[in-house]
Copies of this chain bind each other. A is one copy, B any other.
Amino acid sequence: MPDLNPTAASLLGFLHEGDFSGYDLVRVAEQLIGDFWSLSQSQVYRELAALTERGYVEGGEVGARSKRRYRITDAGRDAFAQWLSVPPSPEQIRFPLLLTIAFGAHVDRDRLSRFIDDHRREHEKRLREYRETVTVTPQQRATLAFGLRYEQAVLDWMDDLPALLTDD
């Protein structure tokens, strides 16, 4: 039983709560894990096909708008449980702005400031959104808490940046 990738596993996780179509799953994932685990629409359909292939989910009948709900199987539940029992691997951050800063000796100051400001606005916005987010489970509160800490850290760091970059 070769194990699942985190994206496929997450889909199985959501399917524990009920039957969903690919379209639904994209939305649910975006909402619930999108801030720390991105996935694209085409990936979801691909993984659903793979999960079906492996017998971890079953596609229901095609309904209105050719909508098809997927149901998790017992094998799927087993695979998910097994995935959850394996220690999660370290996180990965890919932060292009940090590359720009790392190579900042080749960027003129104004442009760099603009890039940073643009990012700052995005992070301020996300922080505001997180602060308005309504959670219903401890799990949601726990993941949201990470988002809050993270966004605050980024903003604090950005506050320090001008001094770090002007001093020699």
Contact = CB atoms under 8 A, between A and B. Distances in A.
Contacts of A138: 104, 164-168
Secondary structure at the A interface, as helix, strand, loop or mixed, is: helix
Interface string A112-136: 0011001100100000000000000
Interface in A87-121: 87-107, 111, 114-115, 118-119
Contacts of A93: 35-36, 91-93, 150
B143 A37 contact: no
A66 interface: no
Greatest chain B CB density within 10 A among A10, A114, A153, A161 is at A153
Contacts of A100: 84, 88
Interface of A: 6, 9-10, 13, 16, 32-33, 35-38, 80-81, 84-85, 87-107, 111, 114-115, 118-119, 122, 137-143, 145-146, 149-150, 152-154, 156-157, 160-161, 164-168
Given A10-B103, A84-B107, 19 more contacts: A6-B94, A10-B99, A33-B99, A33-B102, A36-B95, A38-B92, A84-B106, A88-B99, A90-B96, A90-B119, A90-B122, A91-B94, A92-B95, A95-B146, A98-B143, A101-B142, A138-B168, A145-B160, A153-B153
